[in-house]
Amino acid sequence: MGLAENYNMIKVSISWQLFHKPIKTILSISNILFLLISTPFTNYLIHIHGLIIVNYLDSEKYAYLKHAPINEESSVPIIDLSAPNVVALVGNACQVWGMFHVINHGVSSSLVDDVDSRARQLFSLSTQQKLKTLRAPGGATGYGAARISPFFSKLMWHEGFTIIGSAVEHAKELWPHDYEEFCNVMDIYQKKMKSLAYQILLLILKFLDTTQEKEEKMISTTSIYGSEGALQLNSYPCCPDPNRAIGLAPHTDSLLLTILHQSETNGLQIHRNGVGWLPVPPVSGALVVNIGDLLHIMSNGRFPTVYHRVVPNQNKHRISIAYFYGPPADSIVGPLSKLPFPRYRSLTVKEYISLKSKHLERALSLIKI
Ligand SMILES: C=C1C[C@]23C[C@@]1(O)CC[C@H]2[C@@]12CCC[C@@](C)(C(=O)O1)[C@H]2[C@@H]3C(=O)O
Ligand SMILES: O=C(O)CCC(=O)C(=O)O
Ligand SMILES: [Fe+2]
């Protein structure tokens, strides 16, 4: 099949979308493209012909094929949260990697499996169903492309579903008579994640030896009751030509900490200076923790915020569940007062999120002192 014919097929599928779907709201270009890539019809074409022009990225820029070989010294540490020297282990991992696996984390495997299978159930619904929960323009929750999508010219091999607080409104759209179980599982998981994230944050603050009043105030505002988090269900369908597409484009997470469950399928990679892209294969029973921008700021740059991406898989449909943990939107974040020579100015969480949504990776440099 020639290139021109493939272009025609994409054109055909766009017109198919526009004429056969009653689109009542005005969708942005990225949503239209997302709609296009998510239809079973176009997916079918992608699988048969192995070519979707809009989704291909230039390989020079991202060099997807090149990543460092794994050896013991170059892999993300695995930390047992019940280890007696856990503070030092966590602190060192934050400084050296900005990322670590945790085991003995107290979250039951049956709960993690439940969330994973509910996510699979959601993503296996028809596109028409999923689009009932399409994230509203400017909105935060629901189904759609990653929030960072507008910064990249090519689409990602990814679909997401974001939950902040209760998922009930969207779940009712998807399963009008059977939405409660989905919501219960997501609620229980969010509560567990919140308390695990708080536990890890306390270890980190202990490592940074924060004893002053300001920090204590900050700790209380990020407490399990005060904090606001988000749960992101990620789906990366099988990709016929994984070397020429990206699952989730390179980014750093914005909040304090992210706790990730990545089922059993490879795909996550982190960028290491001087090394390149390094795979982070799933460790059975472990959760991945990574430092986000806000903790990078609080540590005055001592902890790197992790630049990471996801590469698609040819044979396996990959699901991941990310919990983003951060302080309430109105709280002020800045380098901890104990650390000398602040490199960043203090600002509200809301202000930082707004800078990130406008400038992505440049947000941090914009608040440098
Ligand atoms: C709390 C959040 C973090 C996030 C933006 C969000 O409001 C909800 C979705 C999150 C997510 C998931 C995929 C990657 C990411 C960069 C994105 O585009 O949306 C993160 C956002 C983030 O950490 O900035
Ligand atoms: O799917 C993954 O492993 C990572 C997802 C991620 O980076 C995110 O949701 O921010
Ligand atoms: Fe991420």
- Structure ipTM: 0.97
Q: What is the pLDDT of residue 225?
A: 55
Instruction: Tell me the CA–centroid distance for residue 6 and ligand 3, in Å.
Output: 32
Ligand that lies nearest to the alpha carbon of residue 363, given by its number in the listed order: 1
For residues 273 and 306, is the Cβ–Cβ distance under 8 A? no
Beta strands at 257-261 and 287-291: parallel, antiparallel or unpaired: antiparallel
Give yes or no for residue 148 CB within 6 A of ligand 1.
Answer: yes
Given the CA of residue 255, which atom of ligand 1 is nearest to it? 23
Give the orientation angle of helix 213-221 with respect to helix 180-207, to 10 degrees: 170
Q: One digit per residue, pLDDT tens: the chain, 369 residues? A: 333 323 222 322 222 222 223 322 223 334 334 443 443 333 322 322 222 223 333 333 333 333 444 444 579 999 999 999 999 999 999 999 999 999 999 999 999 999 999 999 999 999 999 999 999 988 999 999 999 999 998 889 999 999 999 999 999 999 999 999 999 999 999 999 999 999 999 999 999 886 555 566 565 555 555 667 999 999 999 999 998 899 999 999 999 999 999 989 999 999 998 889 999 999 999 999 999 999 999 999 999 999 999 999 999 999 999 999 999 888 899 998 777 789 999 999 999 999 999 999 999 999 999
Q: What is the pLDDT of residue 11?
A: 27
Q: What is the pLDDT of residue 73?
A: 53
Give yes or no for residue 329 CB within 6 A of ligand 1.
Answer: no
Q: What is the pLDDT of residue 67?
A: 42
Instruction: Tell me the CA–centroid distance for residue 322 and ligand 3, in Å.
Output: 8
Give yes or no for residue 97 CB within 6 A of ligand 1.
Answer: no
Per the DSSP assignment, residues forming a β-bridge with 236 are 318
Given the CA of residue 258, which atom of ligand 2 is nearest to it? 10
Given the CA of residue 146, which atom of ligand 2 is nearest to it? 9
Give yes or no for residue 253 CB within 6 A of ligand 2.
Answer: yes
Give yes or no for residue 146 CB within 6 A of ligand 1.
Answer: yes
Q: Is 318 a catalytic residue?
A: yes
Q: What is the largest CA-CA distance in the chain?
A: 68
Given the CA of residue 149, which atom of ligand 1 is nearest to it? 18
161-180 core/surface letters (b: 16 or more CB in 10 A; e: else)? bbbeeebeebbbbbbeeebe
Give yes or no for residue 230 CB within 6 A of ligand 1.
Answer: yes
Instruction: Tell me the CA–centroid distance for residue 184 and ligand 1, in Å.
Output: 22
CA 77 to chain centre: 20
For residues 308 and 250, is the Cβ–Cβ distance under 8 A? yes
Give yes or no for residue 99 CB within 6 A of ligand 2.
Answer: no
CA nearest ligand 1 atom 16, residue: 253
Instruction: Tell me the CA–centroid distance for residue 293 and ligand 2, in Å.
Output: 15
Instruction: Tell me the CA–centroid distance for residue 98 and ligand 2, in Å.
Output: 15
Phi-psi region of 104 (alpha: psi -120 to 50; beta: other; left: phi over 0): left
CA nearest ligand 1 atom 20, residue: 253
Residue 132: DSSP 8-state:
G
Counting ligand 2 atoms within 8 A of each CB, the residue from 253, 260, 265, 325 with the most, and so the one to mutate, is 260
Q: What is the pLDDT of residue 26?
A: 29
Ligand that lies nearest to the alpha carbon of residue 148, given by its number in the listed order: 1
CA nearest ligand 1 atom 19, residue: 147
For residues 263 and 282, is the Cβ–Cβ distance under 8 A? yes
Count of residues for the chain? 369
Catalytic residue among 118, 272, 318, 345: 318
CA nearest ligand 1 atom 5, residue: 147
Helical H runs in the chain?
3-20, 29-38, 40-49, 59-62, 86-96, 109-123, 127-130, 168-174, 180-207, 213-221, 293-298, 349-359, 362-366
Instruction: Tell me the CA–centroid distance for residue 251 and ligand 1, in Å.
Output: 10
Instruction: Tell me the CA–centroid distance for residue 41 and ligand 2, in Å.
Output: 26
Q: Which of 309, 217, 216, 200 is nearest to 256 (CA)?
A: 200
